[in-house]
Structure 1
Amino acid sequence: MATTAVDVKELPNSYVFVADMPGLKHSEIKVQVQVENDSVLKISGEKKRDDFASDTEIKYVRVERSAGKFMRKFNLPANANLDGISAACQDGLLTVIVPKNPPPDPHRPRTFDVNVGSSTVPPP
């Protein structure tokens, strides 16, 4: 199974995955998020070699371009917003954007007044 190069960037509000996809059509690329025990982003596809099967006179002299199925998996952080993931492919680059959930509000101590009455407090 082949692999593809992927850059992962963290921005203030999202994680961005950029993968090389030269020569692939949208239909040949699959982006999945698996949520079971962990959140996993899976990028897969298949690079196909030119098919000259009908012409038996052609033989390859040199083969340098990779072909075959590829897959990459990435564990997503706990603050990833799985429902907001989007992907687009343009000019041979697949960009997957995983938004971050907003951080929880910091715990702030609260102060409030308690009225003190003149009667006694009943025993528990």
Structure 2
Amino acid sequence: MNNLTRWNPLNEIEDLMNRYNRIFGLTHPGEREGKDLFSRSDWAPAVDIKETGDAFLIEAELPGLSKDDVKVTVDDGVLAIQGERKQETESSDHKVHRIERFYGRFMRRFTLPDNVDENSVKATFKDGLLTLTLKKAEPKEPKAIEVQVE
């Protein structure tokens, strides 16, 4: 049986940056958050983005989290979803053989289109699925300005 592993050179760069961040202590939650050139999340939740006639919908998979573990913000046309999934503490009554789920901090950012009303963002959280509804704004009528030429 042949076992092939695909090599992705970007993974090597990511690994190098993670090591750099750990060496200099740049991966702790809240510490110099948003100011580090090399900072990145520990993992990123999967999202679906859909559009209806009057709104955009963003659905983020966040299994194992509660609504209190998630923060949604809109700032200057950028929507951010962030939070943290904490790993279970070690216990002496069981052995861990494999960990495949992602733990730690996460953040996803989305630049909002011009036709979104930033003040209309609604969020619901049910069964590990965060659903954001972003209502579309009314299109602005173009305004003609007459310029006097001298």
TM-score when normalising by structure 1:
0.75
Query: May I ask how many residue pairs the two structures share in their alignment?
Result: 102
Secondary structure, counterpart of 1:64 in structure 2: coil
Aligned to 1:50: 88
Residues 1:20 and 2:58 aligned together? no
Match of 1:64 among 83, 100, 107: 100
Query: Which AA in structure 2 matches 1:67?
Result: Y
- The Cα offsets for residues 11-43 of structure 1, whole Å up to 9 and x where unpaired, read as 1101100000101011100101111xxx00001
Separation of aligned partners in 2, 1:57 and 1:91: 29
Residues 98-119 of structure 1, C-alpha deviations (whole Å, 9 max, x = no match): 1001224589xxxxxxxxxxxx
Equivalent residue for 1:7, pick from 48, 53, 59: 48
Alpha carbon RMSD of aligned pairs, Å? 1.6
Q: Secondary structure at the match of 1:87?
A: strand
Q: In the alignment, is residue 87 of structure 1 matched against residue 128 of structure 2?
A: no
Structure having the higher strand fraction is 1
Work out which of the residue numbers 74, 80, 88 in structure 2 matches 1:33: 74
The percentage of aligned residue pairs carrying the same residue is 38
Structure 2 CA distance for aligned equivalents of residues 72 and 50 of structure 1: 23
Higher helix share: 2
**1-side partners of 2:136 and 2:112: how far apart?**
10
What is the match of residue 119 of structure 1? Answer: none
Higher Rg of the two aligned structures: 1
State how far apart, in whole Å, the 1-side matches of 2:141 and 2:105 are.
44
Structure 1 residues 40 and 106: CA distance shift in structure 2, 3 A: closer
Distance of 1:12 and 1:92 partners within structure 2: 26
Aligned counterpart, 2:133: 97
Q: Deviations over 1:54-99 (max 9, x none)?
A: x345431111111111110000001110111110100110000110
The equivalent of 2:19 in structure 1 is none
Bigger relative contact order, structure 1 or 2, given CA contacts below 8 A and separation 6+? 1
